[in-house]
Chain A
Amino acid sequence: MDPPVNLRDRTAIIGAGSSAFTRTAERSNILLAADAFQAALADAGLRREDVDGVVNVLGRASGIDLDELVAGLGIESRFSTQTWTHSRLMSTAIQHACLAVAAGIADVVAVFVVAGYLKPEGTANRQHEAFRGRGGPHGEAPHYGILTTMGGAALATRRYRELYGLTDEQQGMLSVTLRRHASLNPAATMRKPITLDDYRASPFLVDPLRLYDVGPNTEGACCILVTRAGRAADAPGKPVYVSGFQGMAMGPSEFVFSRPGLGALHQPAGPFEAERDQIAYRMAGVTPADIDGLYTFDAFTTLILFALERFGFCAAGEAGAFVAEGGIALGGRLPVNTNGGIHSEAHVSGANCVVEMVRQLRGECGERQIADARILQWGDCFGDALILRN
């Protein structure tokens, strides 16, 4: 399949904004959305009337539905859509916005993630899928005590540990590194640095996942404004171009909290080698070696290992050593989640990481700035990717 190179750098993120991120529920979901929207508009130098498209991620019960969102913020939208109620569709939502803008059916699309996980209806009701006769999408089976999304992540992590000898130190350096990054980020909810000893002393939630392997539930919203590259070039701020992307992988070879070949849940086990020339890289005209920083879904830290291998930054089984050597730290070979990620900044489905990518590419990140950041990637263990450049 030929990659859509004609879409390379055709669209841009013209503005990005966030609400405050908090560890208690302080603002209603529509107010969180409004905070993020106004911050993004101010960042872009746009007015609400310039926005003519809306893509919403999550919806109820963890967030807000498209109807409430558009009505509440008084947006006149002519391209309007909402992804299913799962975090992992965040970059897919941004891709929809890019495609709509590139096709000319909208001019400025606002992508919203509103995540009110600490409201009574937030996380509790999200478990409704687990109670289907066929169980939940992360392997949940409540009658067996396989509760929350953590069980599936724990099974994948245990298998990886047994196959490749991942050590406690290597696993612990994931959360130590993310906390170090968050300590440099005034917006992060979990800013206190931790040591490997702290990590080893933290209790198991679902062995092999300890408390510090798991990001807390938080409250927050982000808004990303996408427009044509030409329009972005005329904006006051420095534009950030969308160079490449690829969709989320699903199907028989996939389990959401794994990478192909690992053999977690019902996914086949077998040798793994990263697919070469993935669509996002070919679309952007780059290789993994050109990427200055990686942003990825890290609600469970070990998912970072699977993402590093999926995109070919590390060979199968070698991501743990790469992390322990400082490979994912600021100043390392491939800094990962310099904002602290979902793990330590906030769980806004990773939209908070996209906001960080924009800030990094503009050189606005102060102490945690990646020196001379030019090309950054969002990429998940579940296969989706966005490649942004300045």
Chain B
Amino acid sequence: MSVAPLLPTITDENRPFWDAARAGRFRMQRCSHCATLRPSPSDICPHCLSEEFAWVDLSGRGAVSSWCVYHRAFHPAFKERVPYTILQVDLDEGVRFVAPLAGGGVRPLKLGMRVRVVFEEAAEDVVLPVFALEEDVV
């Protein structure tokens, strides 16, 4: 019997991110005053304290700056998913994002490997941006 997946907590604040993901776009908040990108949404820019921001689409391309591999399922929803890899990625726009390796599993990795965002369906109407190795994307 399969266990329901853990889904993101969607709030008014982060809904534009998840709506965009469903449409195959990867976006973040960008401060309208100092242009700092925010890897997770917020009411305020931690760099300049401006409240003004816009949602902007990102290239989704970047380089691996760390990773880890879950061999233990810490929730029943991941019991059949282990082992799966989590990538810390320095996006080309100068901000980091942490997300799984597309398709799960374990791959030989090195710092600096190029990746790009692809999209995986987690449930009906819920799509997760994840990372694929550039060498796997034609």
Contact = CB atoms under 8 A, between A and B. Distances in A.
Interface of A: 131-135, 139, 141-148, 150-151, 154-159, 162-163, 203-209, 252, 263-266, 269
A160 to B, nearest CB: 9
Contact of A158 (B9, B67, B70, B130): B67
A155 B42 contact: no
Contacts of A144: 86, 98-100, 128, 130
A144 B40 CA distance: 14
A141 B98 contact: yes
- The main secondary structure of chain A at its interface with chain B is mixed
Interface in B50-103: 65-72, 74-75, 78, 81, 83-84, 86, 88, 96, 98-100
B6 interface: yes
9 contacts: A132-B9, A133-B9, A144-B86, A144-B98, A145-B70, A154-B68, A158-B66, A163-B111, A264-B66
Contacts, number: 100
Interface of B: 5-11, 13-14, 39-42, 46, 65-72, 74-75, 78, 81, 83-84, 86, 88, 96, 98-100, 110-111, 122, 128, 130
Contacts of A206: 68-72
- The main secondary structure of chain B at its interface with chain A is loop
A155 B86 CA distance: 9
Nearest to A208: B68
A151 B70 contact: yes
Contacts of A208: 68
B69 A207 contact: yes
A146 B86 contact: yes
Contact of A205 (B42, B71, B130): B71
Nearest to A211: B72
B78 A158 contact: no
